[in-house]
Amino acid sequence: RKEVEQDPGPFNVPEGATVAFNCTYSNSASQSFFWYRQDCRKEPKLLMSVYSSGNEDGRFTAQLNRASQYISLLIRDSKLSDSATYLCVANNAGNMLTFGGGTRLMVKP
């Protein structure tokens, strides 16, 4: 079993839709969590950190449920430019990140 698991998708949604991605992690000692965005043939870029209380950055909302070892990312009012692969990431210890395989999002006009 992978330490960080994501549905690979692709998620095909129309512009303006709301889409949610889920992620589960197996290491209960994981200390912090992130969502990264990766465009085709580009490097991963930090989208947002994920806090237990939930956090929002514009159209993006991240949630963490430690009891269920579950992380989510909600994107509201999807834009064409949101099309990318979204990576769920856990920091286990000592700044060592474990990456999920990614969820591909395609926003269509």
Partner 1 sequence: NAGVTQTPKFRVLKTGQSMTLLCAQDMNHEYMYWYRQDPGMGLRLIHYSVGEGTTAKGEVPDGYNVSRLKKQNFLLGLESAAPSQTSVYFCASSDNGDSSAGAQYFGPGTRLTVL
- Binding interface with partner 1 (CB under 8 A): 31-32, 34, 42-46, 49, 87, 91, 94-97, 99-102
CB of 91 to partner 1, least distance (A): 4
CB of 36 to partner 1, least distance (A): 8
Nearer to partner 1, 18 or 52 (CB): 52
Residue 63, classed as helix, strand or coil, is: strand
Query: Is the separation of the CB atoms in 50 and 64 below 8 Å?
Result: yes
Query: Is the separation of the CB atoms in 15 and 109 below 8 Å?
Result: yes
CB of 95 to partner 1, least distance (A): 4
Query: Is the separation of the CB atoms in 102 and 6 below 8 Å?
Result: yes
Nearer to partner 1, 13 or 97 (CB): 97
Identity of the residue numbered 103: T
